[in-house]
Structure 1
């Protein structure tokens, strides 16, 4: 691939990498699994990037690819995420240290969210990221009405989990 495409990808990935970190935190339980999933999502984003048409924002497209990758890998193996060799990819991105203490106050919420099914987890994640129901529906491939109904049901379910 040409250097311009690679530069565009790396720049946008660096600007939006916290999206991937948050998804990794949601679908993993330790730092090794987090790093493995981050690596796999990055590879899948790179493979899919030439097909990105710009019909939506890069971040919306990134959410969709990252969530689909996480959900697919999570379903295949809940214990260990299989990855590809990252060394074979020629570009390097500047990594931002992910500080778990920044989101310590959300620990209980993450714990409760982990009890949800994969699609509900993704919906809650996007909701917590202040995405509109329109963006949520585009990212998850469901109707806007369906995303609203699902979110209301999830809120009730989370209240039950957090306040038994």
Structure 2
């Protein structure tokens, strides 16, 4: 890669790294796993960057690569025996941004979202990022109608999980 292409990539990654961090938070349970996934996503983005044609926004392309990487690694990790208890997961949230009630609600929401399948998790993530259904469908490779139907079903499922 040329220095200019490398500089463009680093700039885009720095400007959009919050996307990767949010995906890592959704698919990991601890700090080390978060760092590992962030690194793996960055590597996959770097490898794929020369093929990025600019047909979509960089952030949309980044979502797709990051989600595909996270889902692939998540599926591989599901084959191993999980030894960490979900109750032991502690989310690091700045006290000045959230009060205790909001923090507890956020923990419950993350726990509920983790119970969804891979595609549903990705859809919820994009929805919570205020992506419109057109962007969601492009990122996930599904129709816009399918994205809307799935989101309505997911909302119902999350309500059931959160309010048994």
For 1:40 and 1:100, locate their aligned partners in 2 and report how far apart those are by CA, in whole Å: 22
- How large is the RMSD of aligned CA atoms in angstroms? 1.5
Give deviations 1:100-130, integer Å, cap 9, x for gaps.
3047352211110000000000000000000
User: 2 CA distance for matches of 1:107 and 1:57?
Assistant: 31
| Corresponding residue to 1:100 among 92, 113, 117 | 92
* Runs (5+) with no aligned partner, structure 2: 82-90
Work out whether 1:138 is the aligned partner of 2:138. yes
- Residue in structure 1 matched with residue 125 of structure 2 by the alignment: 125
Q: Which SS does the other structure have where 1:23 is aligned?
A: helix
Alignment gaps of 5+ in structure 1: 81-98
Distance in 2 between residues matched to 1:20 and 1:160, nearest whole Å? 29
Quote the Cα distance in structure 2 between the aligned partners of 1:141 and 1:106.
28
Q: Within 5 A, what are the aligned runs for 1:1-164?
A: 1-78=1-78, 100-102=92-94, 104=103, 105-164=105-164
- Runs of 4+ aligned structure 1 residues displaced above 6 Å come to none
